[in-house]
Amino acid sequence: MNAELLVLIAMMALFAIAVFIGKYPIGISLALASIAGALLSGFGVPFRHLVEGSISYLDPILIIVTAMIFMEIIKETGALGETSRLIVRYFHAYPFLFLTAITFFIMIPGMLTGLSTASVLTTGAVVAPALIAYGIPKVKTGSIIAMAALYGMIAPPINVPAMIIGGGVDMPFIGFELPLLFATVPLALFTTYFIARPHVSRGVRSEVLEKISALTQDIHRARLFLPVLVLVLLMSLSRLIPNDLTSLGLPLIFVISSLAAFRSGRDFNYWKVAQSAIKKAMPVMGILVGIGMFIQILSLSGVRGFLIVNIVQIPSYWIYVAIAVSLPLFGAISSYGASYVLGVPFLLALLGRNEIIVASAITLIASLGDMMPPTALAGIFSAQVVDEPNYFRILKVCIPYIVITAFYGVMMIIGANWFAKYLIV
Amino acid sequence: MSFLKKHLTRLLILASALSVSAFVGIDFLSMHVPDPIYPNPCQKLQLSDYFKPLAGTAGDTDVYIFEGDQAGATVLILGGTHANEPAGHIAAVSLMENIEVDAGRLIILPRANNSGFTHNDPQEGNPQRFMIKTRRGERWFRYGSRYTNSIDQWPDPDVYEHQPSGQHLSGSETRNLNRSYPGSPDGNLTEKIGYAIMQLLKQEHVDLAFDLHEASLEYPVINAVVAHQLAFDLAAEVVMTLQMEDILFNLEPSPVDFHGLSHREWGDALGIPVILMESANPLQGRYHGKVTPDIIVTGKDKYNLQAAKSGLIEVNYPADGIPLNLRVARHLSGLATTFDIWNSSHQDDQIIVKNIPSYSEMITNGLGVYLK
């Protein structure tokens, strides 16, 4: 048997044993599988490679932990509840408008940062109580948030996977706006409506308003929203006027916004809230560290080359199946990683079709990785936002929409040159 | 005692983490030791001599000036813009250790982005060093990163907005020297390096400039000469001349709307003919197999070969691989031919460089013969 295939099987087997039999956390299991892969490939225990890989996701880890602290703080001050109350109050009589507004609202942070978790942990957390109060079950609420966050991450103006792919083929991030809107907005609205539709009936609306009003009656609204305003302002400034002063970086923006929450609403203890937020984010941070090691050892051992060469050289129309399956599956490790490792070879294998449309579609499909276990960043955080202990219940609701999204992406690739006539200006 | 008992596991984990950190930290720090270069007689300056604020930073780098007895053209050669593209760096080093300039001035920066040589790209599993056999024994060189070290420039923005064009690229490209031009005196470290190189070009009145690179095998612009429109006719003649010697290069015009690159911004801002050369590095890209320092030198890899047989890569990849001496020889023959053609049309402003190892010499004798 091929040596690289053996190493891959051994790594996957050890990972499964560590998770399911050893009951180790996923991050630790990934680290153990990485060490096994390195040993089997004749590299011993390559501490340098393990540490180098583990640090790959330092920036997303900082974003996740600071965003988590921010979300916990605005939950404590009452800002989350009050936002939900306002959304319900103004839109409750118009379900179509209500769901449209909520979908775009969830997507905005992802559109600005290129991170699905930014959407889930900020606007996703804000609208969760409103959706639940509107009568949508919490599992479906989590599903709506997770899927809208994925589409937000891909929608313009910022699509980091497209930039990563562009970096691999020297294609500047220009002309992507329309293709990315086409790739995301119809799917986002379709997904929200179809998940929410059975639960949006006229009877419950006045009760909803009463129920949610009771949450936040005693709070001064202007002060309450100060941290959210600071967040929006700093995020927008870094996009509109990018320079040293305004480009603070998301972690610092979340920290400043969290500090702006001081005495803005109900009292809270910064230390305790931060501790609780870090505790919640710890498993995902551990997974990202483990994944960095895992990918490093896949590359070092030659397993990455073996996988890519065998996936990309699949003949003819099977390449579309390979794209629809391998990108989300690899995205389970990291959707950025999938774009980096597989997205570039797929784009090059499909040269002749409009590259912008193909890259947009590839990123749409790669984003589905954020719903795939074990990392499932969008799915796991959405479960936390709606207090659902079992993330797989959210995944189950999303599966039809994940399949539709992959199909939609593949159709965009097949018809790339036709779509380009209308979408590339 | 009770404290120890209660926290024993935690303390052990902490101690292990600290030990690994110290062990690995020493390994990472070792990348800051430069691989030695033994240049022929020349003047050695620093890049910060052209832009003072760069002094004492990780972006400062050695500038070597080889001056002929006769006046002539001033030519700049950049190696090591991307420290994971060793043919560019080694071509610059092998020039410095062999040449003698008779007319004009040759300015060489073997490590254009010095910071890129002090680390590796995460998730690539690349080696820190590789060895080349020379007549004196084995000589080591660093294999670095495409980017400025995050230790020297961090954090990356979510999106890199190139100035002044406003072009958007992924955030990590903010540490890519060949996306930073024309640079900025007030920008980040990479932009300052870019700015300093622009100052060098300006202050030294450079007439012709080169940037030596490598590319991954699946990248379409490979084994190529990329030329700014001011250098396009010259580059076309070079490509045709080399073709007659069976050394094949693709000729690519520098894209007008792709900003930040040397072959675009140097030419646009300073009116200098600029040529960028790309060879094929089997360790770059995504198709290669197990990572060893040998791949860099021998260029041999089974998955690259499999990818080539399936038509997935853009170059002819023989079973013997694409060795480093061949890639360096391509760069050197490209430079030597450009000088010849330049001289034929610039009788009063020539660049005459002796002892550039020829293509056939380097293929026959190997790279190590031309390194001290």
Residue A334 has pLDDT above 80, yes or no: no
Least confident of A82-91, A324-333, B315-324: A82-91
Instruction: Identify all chain A residues contacting B28, using CB atoms and an 8 Å cutoff.
Output: 48
> Of the spans A91-105, A335-349, B310-324, which averages the highest pLDDT?
B310-324
Q: Percent of chain B having pLDDT more than 90?
A: 89
Mean pLDDT of B163-174: 87
Distances (CA, A) of A268 to A6, A69, B91, B216: 53, 12, 62, 53
For residue B219, give how far its alpha carbon lies from the nearest alpha carbon of chain A (Å).
6
Answer whether B256 touches A (CB < 8 Å): no
For residue B171, give how far its alpha carbon lies from the nearest alpha carbon of chain A (Å).
8
Say whether B124 and A344 touch across the interface (CB within 8 A): no
Least confident of A230-239, B134-143, B327-336: A230-239
Buried b (16+ CB within 10 A) or exposed e, A322-336: bbbebbbebbbbbbb
Residue A357 one-letter amino acid = I
Q: What is the reported pLDDT for A123?
A: 84
Q: How confident is the model at residue A264 (pLDDT cuts 50, 70, 90)?
A: confident
Picking from A299, A326, A340 by the largest number of B CB atoms within 10 A of its own CB, the best residue to mutate is A299
Q: What is the reported pLDDT for B2?
A: 76
For B259-317, the pLDDT digits (tens) are 999 999 999 999 999 999 999 999 998 899 999 999 999 999 999 999 999 888 889 99
Distance in angstroms (rounded) separating the CA atoms of residues A214 and A85: 9
Instruction: Identify all chain A residues contacting B120, using CB atoms and an 8 Å cutoff.
Output: 52
Q: How confident is the model at residue A15 (pLDDT cuts 50, 70, 90)?
A: confident
Say whether A114 and B169 touch across the interface (CB within 8 A): no
Distance in angstroms (rounded) separating the CA atoms of residues A77 and A86: 16
B102 touches B353 (CB < 8 A): yes
* Mean of all residue pLDDT scores within chain B: 95
Distance in angstroms (rounded) separating the CA atoms of residues A207 and A317: 53
Residue A244 has pLDDT above 70, yes or no: no
A56 touches A62 (CB < 8 A): no
For residue A295, give how far its alpha carbon lies from the nearest alpha carbon of chain B (Å).
6
Mean pLDDT of B188-217: 97
Residue A155 CB contacts under 8 Å (≥ 6 apart), including other chains: A107, A110, A111, A180, A181, A183, A184, A185, A188
Give the one of B170, B221, B310 whose C-beta lies nearest to A164's C-beta.
Answer: B170
**First-to-last CA distance in chain B?**
62
The better pLDDT of the pair B363, A127 is held by B363
Distance in angstroms (rounded) separating the CA atoms of residues A312 and A134: 46
The DSSP annotation for B228-279 comes to -GGGHHHHHHHHHHHHHTT---EEEEPPTT--S-HHHHHHHHH---EEEEEE
Q: What is the reported pLDDT for A240?
A: 74
Mean pLDDT of B159-184: 91
For B62-94, the pLDDT digits (tens) are 999 999 999 999 999 999 999 999 999 999 999
Interchain CB contacts (distance < 8 Å): A and B: 143
Distances (CA, A) of A291 to A46, A74, A167, A284, A341: 16, 30, 22, 10, 14
Q: Which of residues 262-301 of B touch A (CB under 8 A)?
A: 286-291, 301
Instruction: Identify all chain B residues contacting A344, using CB atoms and an 8 Å cutoff.
Output: 218, 286
Residue B235 CB contacts under 8 Å (≥ 6 apart), including other chains: B225, B227, B251, B275, B338
Mean pLDDT of A40-49: 96
Q: What is the reported pLDDT for A78?
A: 84
For residue B94, give how far its alpha carbon lies from the nearest alpha carbon of chain A (Å).
29
Residue A254 CB contacts under 8 Å (≥ 6 apart), including other chains: A63, A66, A67, A69, A70, A231
Least confident of A282-291, A385-394, B238-247, B327-336: A282-291
Least confident of A96-110, A143-157, B351-365: A96-110
Answer whether B166 touches A (CB < 8 Å): no
Give the one of A48, A172, A305 whose C-beta lies nearest to B289's C-beta.
Answer: A305
Q: What is the reported pLDDT for A92?
A: 76
Distance in angstroms (rounded) separating the CA atoms of residues A400 and A377: 19
Which chain A residue lies closest to B256 (C-alpha atoms)? Answer: A172
Q: How confident is the model at residue B254 (pLDDT cuts 50, 70, 90)?
A: very high
Q: How confident is the model at residue A129 (pLDDT cuts 50, 70, 90)?
A: confident
Least confident of A355-359, B159-163, B354-358: B159-163
Residue B83 one-letter amino acid = A
Q: What is the reported pLDDT for A135?
A: 85
Q: Percent of chain A having pLDDT more than 70?
A: 93
For B127-155, the pLDDT digits (tens) are 999 999 999 999 999 999 999 999 999 88
The DSSP annotation for B12-23 comes to HHHHHHHHHHHH
- Cis omega (within 30 of 0) for bond into B182: yes
Structure tokens at B370: 């031309």
Distance in angstroms (rounded) separating the CA atoms of residues A401 and A195: 9
User: What ipTM was predicted for this assembly?
Assistant: 0.94
A385 touches A124 (CB < 8 A): yes
For A181-231, the pLDDT digits (tens) are 999 999 999 999 999 988 876 545 566 666 665 555 566 777 888 998 998
Going along chain B from its start, the domains and CATH numbers come out as 35-370 (3.40.630)
Say whether B28 and A48 touch across the interface (CB within 8 A): yes
Mean pLDDT of A307-317: 79
**Residue B284 region, left (φ>0) first, then alpha (ψ -120 to 50), else beta?**
beta
Mean pLDDT of A36-52: 96
For residue B2, give how far its alpha carbon lies from the nearest alpha carbon of chain A (Å).
25
Which chain A residue lies closest to B172 (C-alpha atoms)? Answer: A164
Distance in angstroms (rounded) separating the CA atoms of residues B215 and B213: 7
Mean pLDDT of A317-342: 83
Q: What is the reported pLDDT for B34?
A: 96
Q: What is the reported pLDDT for A203?
A: 46
Instruction: Return the sign of the alpha-carbon dihedral for residues A70, A76, A78, A81.
Output: positive
The better pLDDT of the pair A287, B328 is held by B328
Q: How confident is the model at residue A26 (pLDDT cuts 50, 70, 90)?
A: confident
